[in-house]
Structure 1
Amino acid sequence: MPPSTGPVPVTGRARRVLQDDARPSFFTSAIDGAPRWGVGVLAALQGAALSLLVLAVPAVAVFVATSADPSNADVAWTRAVVVAAHLWLLAHGVPAPVGGAEVTLVPLGLTLLAAFTCAASARRSGVATRSGALASVAAYALLAALVALVCGTGGGGVLRALLGGLVVGGVGLGRGLLRRPEAPALGDLLAPVAARVPTAVLVGLRAGTLAVATLVAVAALLTAVWVVAGRATVADVVGMLGLDAVGGVVLAVAELAYLPNLVVWVLAWLAGPGFAVGAGTRFAPAEVVAGPLPAVPMLGALPAPDLAGGALVAVPAVLVAVGLLAGSAVHRWLVPVRVRDVLTAVGVVAGTSGLLAAVLQLVAGGAAGAGRMAEVGGSAALVGLVTAAGVGVGALLLAVPADTTVRAAVRERWHRRRGAGTTAADDGAEAG
């Protein structure tokens, strides 16, 4: 008999599995015997219903609070539910009709809310199996398409809802399922793909993602500074609106829904190209071209025309600083075999950061109405190119000189040239 090696340590995930297995049968529901795909569908329905209710309940409450107004006498309470459904669809990328115009500016706060409810539902009720995951995402996307069909958005709206549901549901439900006790680690799921991708590319992807996450964090901090600095203007706009309690709550929720959009616009400001809030406007470190803005308190935090130029022209240098951070990550994570491994990783860092920055600008911009307000947000192409250049230069400045393989190759080439020069000089002296 082999000698005893002592108790086997039990990880946190294994402990939760054992606790679930030891749970009394009294607490076992009928859903535990359902097919895995059926459980996945129910988890998706639960996540979608939660986010819809978060919007529908306040909308109905506002209708009840304003039902005494004679102008609302012919408005049914179902209209409030339809408005909430359109907002929910807008969070999934489906344009919403407002006053004869289409609003395509996605409230990223509501998008994050939908992804959060999906993650919470999947973590609580989902099953981390392939069939369960596929059924969850497919059910969520089909439900989004069904809501768009009921709201009468047309074929284009239904297709947008389907695609938006796949993205939001895939991210939210996937996140929740990975937190389940029986779920495999994310690294294990990606291992077959990672094994076929060069290490330098993987390191570049990680470092590029780190760079964009750092830029978003800096943009969020700067957004908070702008809001605090412009609090007087924000308060003046709120006072001019003369809102009651219900209107104030609605406005506060709407501004929170678009707060992540403002953070992404500030990222465009940090990059240098800036952003627009209406055609003909530009908010950038080099210049501020302001125009008539909607009476939205959040916009009172935007920089004034006198807060541009001068030392602020150097603000895009933050891209190079973040690139230095990414280059440091490449230096720590990569064990290069050849010099081109470092150059490949740096190139992937630049491409990843530029692509992610462009995608953020693309999803955070759009039309907030007709006329001038049809142009809101930053230029995805321009911000992406500038971000890729700045972060790439920073990563190159740190990762290449700091790498021992690069330094060894440079020394070897230097010695070869020096040795060739010395030999040529000796041959010339002998010939003389």
Structure 2
Amino acid sequence: MREALPGWAGGVLTGLQGVLLSYLVVLAPALAAVAGAPSLDGSAAVDWSGAATVATRLWLLGHGVPVPAGDGVVSLVPLGMVLLSGAILASVARRFAVKTWTSWGLAVAAFAGGAGVIAGLATAATDSTTASVLRATTVGALIAAPAVAIGIWRAYGARLEMLDRIPATIRAGLRLGLATLALVLLLAAAAGTAWAVLGMDRVASTATGLAMDPLGAGALALGEVLYVPTLACWMVAWVIGPGFVVGTGSLYAPDTLTEAALPQLPLLGALPSGSGGWWVWAPAVVAALSALAFALLHRRVGRGWAGARAAGTAVAVVAAGLAVLTMVSRGSIGPGALAVAGAEVVPVTIVGTALVAGGYAAVWGAREGWRWLRSRGNDAGRTEDAGRAGEDAVGQGEVSAGGVRPQRSSRLM
């Protein structure tokens, strides 16, 4: 297929297919839900437009466009939608895009333009049309740019020559920082899974209380799955220590739990339901994982000023990553008290960066201390060997010309 199309056409098709397929992922379950409803409740009317509106709003949320909710708005981004759109674009780009800047640029422009068109059509009757189109276009470009590049690199094995110009210490720091962020995310996902298992009864009771038909429940489950990565980012703030809020007056942290009234959604039953005890050691685990990452990559990091630059780069990468994860997972989930959900950027970034830097420093100190002890041991060994060699040299000098070594007297003088 790629060979039969000009390069520019492959780029345009990549972007348009990315928009269409990602939109169908949320539209198809919504339409299936309303299509199955009449057979369950006897109703003859099928609300196709209502299902399409819900799907469109969810898609727009995933591309940065807030949607109205009563007297307020819902602006919390379902990060699963972002990841899904990126994965679709990377897969399509691998098959259709070519290894040219034109193809890449047209793919990004087509996806961003398609997102802007959907936002414009969905908000045509409101006063926020211009702002919605700009937000959807901007976020669409931010999603498409790296996703299409990844797809092209996977297809052609491309390599950016500019990466070779980056000093080795900076590359080592980038590798260490990204590895540390991955371990922190893994810890957050594990903690979130643990709380979800502990809260299975709450999730089940909430889902049962909604009394939804099977297809409607499936559509709701799909929407909640798209918010699971957002919840994982909340858990990053939780394991670091400052915690997060879901509604004004609430706080979910390892050492504090203050709950507020929440919407009846099964996913919210997976939020932490306890605090104190062993949970307060979660920040220490973050520091330990940072130390583990440094220990595994310490040979690449190096020593001296070069190692310090690499470690500093890694700390900066972690700080930037934590700030971004906190910002993209913060927003509103409704009017009134629900206008705030997520974590504060500054506390999470400062505390998380301090924990990571402490973990690095612990391994750095242990490594340098061990090297110092070894060097002291080696110096002592060399001194002892030199002394023995000197005694042997003196003994050899006392050998007579006839080859007979004179006997030393053992009598004390």
For normalisation by structure 1, the TM-score amounts to 0.80
Q: Secondary structure at the match of 2:227?
A: helix
8 Å contact from structure 1 (residues 194, 202) kept in 2: no
Q: Secondary structure at the match of 2:76?
A: coil
What's 1:356 paired with?
Answer: 321
The amino acid across from 2:152 in the alignment is L
Q: Secondary structure at the match of 1:315?
A: helix
8 Å contact from structure 1 (residues 136, 173) kept in 2: yes
Cα distance change of structure 1 residues 330 and 359 upon mapping to structure 2, 3 Å threshold = same
What's 2:49 paired with?
Answer: 78
The alpha carbon displacement at 1:405 in A equals: 12
Q: Secondary structure at the match of 1:283?
A: strand
Matched, 1:154 2:129: yes
Q: Which of 194, 198, 220 is the equivalent residue of 2:167?
A: 198
8 Å contact from structure 2 (residues 319, 349) kept in 1: yes
Distance, in Å, in 1 between the alignment partners of 2:55 and 2:269 is 27
Stretches of structure 2 lacking an aligned partner (at least 5 in a row): 377-413
The amino acid across from 1:111 in the alignment is V
Distance, in Å, in 1 between the alignment partners of 2:85 and 2:8 is 21
Distance, in Å, in 2 between the alignment partners of 1:103 and 1:407 is 58
The higher relative CO (CA closer than 8 Å, separation ≥ 6) is in: 2
Matches within 5 A, 1:83-232: 83-152=54-123, 153-180=128-155, 182-184=156-158, 188-189=159-160, 191-195=161-165, 197-232=166-201
Q: Which of 212, 219, 226 is the equivalent residue of 1:257?
A: 226
What's 2:298 paired with?
Answer: 331
Distance, in Å, in 1 between the alignment partners of 2:3 and 2:284 is 55
The alpha carbon displacement at 1:140 in A equals: 0.9
The alpha carbon displacement at 1:67 in A equals: 5.9
Q: Name the stretch that deviates more: 394-403 or 222-231.
A: 394-403
Give the root-mean-square deviation of aligned CA atoms.
2.5
What's 1:429 paired with?
Answer: none
Aligned length: 370
Distance, in Å, in 2 between the alignment partners of 1:96 and 1:322 is 39
What's 2:284 paired with?
Answer: 317
The amino acid across from 1:168 in the alignment is I
Matched, 1:402 2:371: no
Among the aligned pairs, what percent are the same residue?
A: 35
What's 2:9 paired with?
Answer: 38
Stretches of structure 1 lacking an aligned partner (at least 5 in a row): 1-28, 412-432
8 Å contact from structure 1 (residues 219, 264) kept in 2: yes
Q: Secondary structure at the match of 2:105?
A: helix
The alpha carbon displacement at 1:223 in A equals: 1.5
What's 1:372 paired with?
Answer: 337
What's 1:415 paired with?
Answer: none
Q: Name the stretch that deviates more: 339-348 or 76-85.
A: 76-85
What's 1:243 paired with?
Answer: 212
The alpha carbon displacement at 1:366 in A equals: 0.6
What's 2:393 paired with?
Answer: none
Matched, 1:56 2:31: no
Matches within 5 A, 1:259-274: 259-274=228-243
The alpha carbon displacement at 1:71 in A equals: 9.5
The alpha carbon displacement at 1:373 in A equals: 0.9
What's 1:25 paired with?
Answer: none
The alpha carbon displacement at 1:251 in A equals: 1.9
Distance, in Å, in 2 between the alignment partners of 1:217 and 1:88 is 27
The amino acid across from 2:162 in the alignment is P
The alpha carbon displacement at 1:325 in A equals: 2.0
> Deviation string for 1:264-314 (max 9, x for gaps)?
11111100001111111001011101121211112222233xx32244322
| Rg (Cα) greater in structure | 2
Distance, in Å, in 2 between the alignment partners of 1:284 and 1:200 is 36
The alpha carbon displacement at 1:215 in A equals: 0.8
8 Å contact from structure 1 (residues 279, 374) kept in 2: yes
8 Å contact from structure 1 (residues 346, 399) kept in 2: no
Cα distance change of structure 1 residues 242 and 79 upon mapping to structure 2, 3 Å threshold = closer
Q: Secondary structure at the match of 1:316?
A: helix
Cα distance change of structure 1 residues 194 and 383 upon mapping to structure 2, 3 Å threshold = farther
The alpha carbon displacement at 1:359 in A equals: 0.7
